[in-house]
Structure 1
């Protein structure tokens, strides 16, 4: 199950809904009952440790 952020265009309430990635449910606002819209946002990825950069792959002299 994945979690998605939704926002109600009527009252502005932001909330989270959990459903399968393959599902496209019609989500209603828990506050006013209007149809909510999915909010798209980028997720942050952090690469740490060795092996992620070109300089890590070079042979040691």
Structure 2
């Protein structure tokens, strides 16, 4: 096959990560974070996001 990874399932990938003891950055795991909901998207709190009228920061366990 030309692209063998294209046939891997998500579970295959996670099993490989575990088998090879590959470290993952914390961003891959859910954390308690602040965010704003905008147009059906959760935007993480950062210096680049300005709240629009009627918006407020929420806090929740998100990935």
Larger radius of gyration: 1
- Structure-1-length-normalised TM-score: 0.26
**Higher relative helix content:** 2
- Structure-2-length-normalised TM-score: 0.26
